[in-house]
Amino acid sequence: MQKLSLETILSIIDNLSSSAQSQALSPAESDGKGRLIDAAKIEFSQKGFAGASVLTISERAGVKQPLLNYHFGNKEGLWRAVIENTYAISTAEWEKVRTLILQNEDPLTRLKGVLAAFIAIHHRDPTAQALVYAEVAQPSARLEWMVDRFVKPFHIFLDSILQECIDANQIKQLPDRYASVMITIMLNSHLLGANLILRLYPESLGEAAEMPLDERIQQLLDILLNGICVSKTLG
């Protein structure tokens, strides 16, 4: 049995990411379709669906707008292609790590593995969460499609691991229905708040860049699982 450790989790994710990125697009996709998806990722994650401009996306990709319509049909077709592309690698990474996590009998060890993998995957490519939060701000059928297809399966799994830890008396009883959502929002705060941190504390730029990912993950898990108080102060 492969030992579950932060080092193992990061190694799996790095290897899968490198493998996926090394698979080159065909010349046609490299010249058009792939560039449109890459340009649209930036536009949609920064401005959301409503604020994104297909003209800006086409210009950023260096292609004519009719090519966008040819490959994706319309703006929503392009958006869905961006979501599917963004989640394709992270889903493969997650399934590989999930198999390893489930080999461990201790619920708390499994929980730590799930959370560490979540942080590492989204640290590698924060686009997925940026796209989710852009849609959350303007709920629509697109958000329902994205949540049902890509987001909900992970939260169902995380809910089950949290319940196992509660049943084993390893963590306290958490509020039903939204505990896993609050946890993932907290873990993503270091990505979503990166620009604010650098604006408030510009001297931290070098420190943040030099901090290894495993140390960053350990800090986040320590705060989440152990809190910030030296001793218990609340009843």
Query: Is 182 a residue whose pLDDT tops 50?
Result: yes
Mean pLDDT of the chain: 82
How many domains, in total, are found in the chain? Answer: 1
The verdict on residue 11 lying in a domain is yes
Reading the block at residue 191, the tokens are 């990505």
* 201, HSE (Cβ side, Cα atoms, 13 Å): 8
* Alpha-carbon span 63 to 57, nearest angstrom: 9
* Domain boundaries, position 168: 6-22+89-226
The verdict on residue 41 lying in a domain is no
The verdict on residue 43 lying in a domain is no
Instruction: Write down the pLDDT at residue 233.
Output: 54
pTM for the model? 0.81
The verdict on residue 203 lying in a domain is yes
Instruction: Write down the pLDDT at residue 121.
Output: 85
The verdict on residue 96 lying in a domain is yes
**Reported confidence tier of residue 23, pLDDT bands at 50, 70, 90:** very low
The verdict on residue 34 lying in a domain is no
The verdict on residue 110 lying in a domain is yes
The verdict on residue 156 lying in a domain is yes
Q: At 133, which CATH number?
A: 1.10.357
* Alpha-carbon span 57 to 199, nearest angstrom: 28
203-215: average pLDDT: 68
In this predicted model, what pLDDT tens digit does every residue of 123-139 receive, in sequence order?
877 787 788 888 887 78
In this predicted model, what pLDDT tens digit does every residue of 55-82 receive, in sequence order?
999 999 999 999 999 999 999 999 999 9
